[in-house]
Amino acid sequence: MVQKIIYKTKDYCKVKFTFGTDNAERIEIFGLNNNWQMPLKMKKRKDGKFIAETNLPKGSSHEFKYLVNQAEWLNDDDADREVPNMYGGTNGVIVL
């Protein structure tokens, strides 16, 4: 799940990511306009889902993808849209 909090008086939005999949021990979010180099690490909750929050600029769009257990790339069904990537798959996109 992707939740957006848009502030009227700030030039950024807070974005909260909630994601879970069977047998996940570690989930990281790649993309978000950081050249896919610095992942956003998600924290595991007691219910088994993972959460992370970040601030992103208003009026922007960001490709992203989850990396589960350092092995499996997954998209979020709640992304605003998907776009093709250079590996023959797709990336999720969040629009703010």
The H-assigned helical ranges of 1-96 are none
Distances (CA, A) of 5 to 16, 24, 34, 40, 79: 8, 27, 21, 18, 15
The per-residue pLDDT for range 29-48, each reduced to its tens digit, is 999 977 898 999 999 999 99
Domains, in order of start, for the chain: 2-95 (2.60.40.10)
Whether 10 has a pLDDT exceeding 90, the answer reads yes
| Euclidean distance between CA atoms 80 and 3, whole angstroms | 11
Q: 46-81 pLDDT, tens per residue?
A: 999 999 999 999 999 999 999 999 999 999 999 999
